[in-house]
Structure 1
Amino acid sequence: MQALSKIIFAITATASLGFTGCQKVVKPVLSTPTIEMPTNQNIAQKPINQFNLEGKIGVKTPQQSGSAFYTWVQDQENFDIQFNGILGLGKTIIIGKPGEVSLNSSKTGLITAETPEELLERATGWVAPITHIVDWVQARPATSNSQIQTDSAQRISQIDEDGWTVNLSYNDNATLPNKLILKQQLEAGKENRITMVIQNR
């Protein structure tokens, strides 16, 4: 009887070890999706900066004003902007990638800088928040410090950010704006104003 009990115990213990071994093999396979999912979610949450715009832009500062037709091709952090007739510079091309931006026109020749804002100010004397405009034309704020207002369709209609107030207008039921008015308040009640009309996307 004791021998039979020992045999039953040995079989039970062996079976238990076998099941435990199976569990150890299965666990890593089950845990793999849990590790990968956050990575995939993070990739999906990154903003996509991919667009091709055409339209007209007007600039008015206390010192000068002017307008131009433009094309703007944005490919993530790289961009190519062309202006025709801007403030007497003639055709102007701005090409940029992170940390390196160049402007070329018949009047100024080739100018380089680290940011498009610095480059445009050196060439034309006026300031435009080009880096932020990449987000604004897509109806979203550029930083977490912005204040926004929405219209009756819950689209962003105004963004206050980094000293600029941006008013966005939409065509009918469109989800992206066709017109942006950027205003930067200066001393003595003066302002810089940029009107950007988007005719084609």
Structure 2
Amino acid sequence: MRNLSQLGCCAFAATALFLTGCQQMINPQKPVTPSVQADNQFQLQGKIGVRTPQQTGSAFFTWVQQQEEFDIELSGILGVGKTQISGTPGQVTLNSAKTGVIQAASAEELLQRATGWQAPISYLVDWVQARPATTSAKLQKDDTQRISQIMEQGWTVDLNYNAQARMPNRLILKQSLENGAENRITMIIENR
């Protein structure tokens, strides 16, 4: 698993912790080969929301990615419920008042320990940069040849853009469940 992908997983882990829910999801496959090589250096601010058949919730986030190292801060309104997630190759740490400190070797392991979830959320590093995480992804493009949808590892990711921007300002991740319901994660990027 690419270590730089740990950030995305941790964002979901913290959001999932914020919601304090547990449910089983599919096991992620490791990325085959990155389809695009990128700098993986960015800073994002915005809001993330999760809706499952059992619960809903949201948090504000700040995400700083420096190659394979990252730092994410999640909080509720007025900074309530602050959660700090950081990672370097081989170590990911989550710290919140609700859970205390949780450490793991990878973001997927951290998510599993913290919430019981299994999901390919490490792909977020690629998805927020408007690219697939693996060569097996199915893509749709808009009229200007920007990726507008990624179907990968059981998830459908819809990407929305402001005007002629090359990077998305909103991602909607959907996972269909057996009973016709779905898990939905909405990520709104307010600043890049």
Q: TM-score range by the shorter chain?
A: 0.7 to 0.9
1:107 paired residue among 98, 105, 113: 98
Distance (Å, rounded) in 2 between the aligned partners of 1:74 and 1:108: 24
SS at match of 1:187: coil
RMSD over aligned CA atoms reads 1.9
Match of 2:153 among 153, 162, 176: 162
Contact 2:65/2:71 (CA < 8 Å) preserved in 1?
Answer: yes
Work out the number of aligned pairs and report it: 155
Q: Note closer, same or farther for the CA distance 1:63–1:91 as it changes in structure 2 (3 Å cut).
A: same
* Higher share in helix: 1
Give yes or no for the alignment of 1:197 onto 2:188: yes
Listed as ranges, the matches of 1:1-201 within 5 Å are 46-85=37-76, 90-124=81-115, 129-201=120-192
How high is the TM-score relative to the length of structure 2? 0.75
Give SS of 2:179's match: helix
Q: Gaps spanning 5+ residues in structure 1: where? A: 1-44
Amino acid at match of 2:107: P
Report the identity percentage: 66
Larger radius of gyration: 1
Q: Structure 2: state its 5+ residue gaps.
A: 1-35
CA shift for structure 1 position 46:
3.4
Moved over 2 A (4+): 120-130
Residues 83 and 94, structure 2, Cα contact 8 Å, conserved in 1: yes
TM-score w.r.t. structure 1 length? 0.72
Q: CA–CA distance in 2 between the matches of 1:130 and 1:187?
A: 20
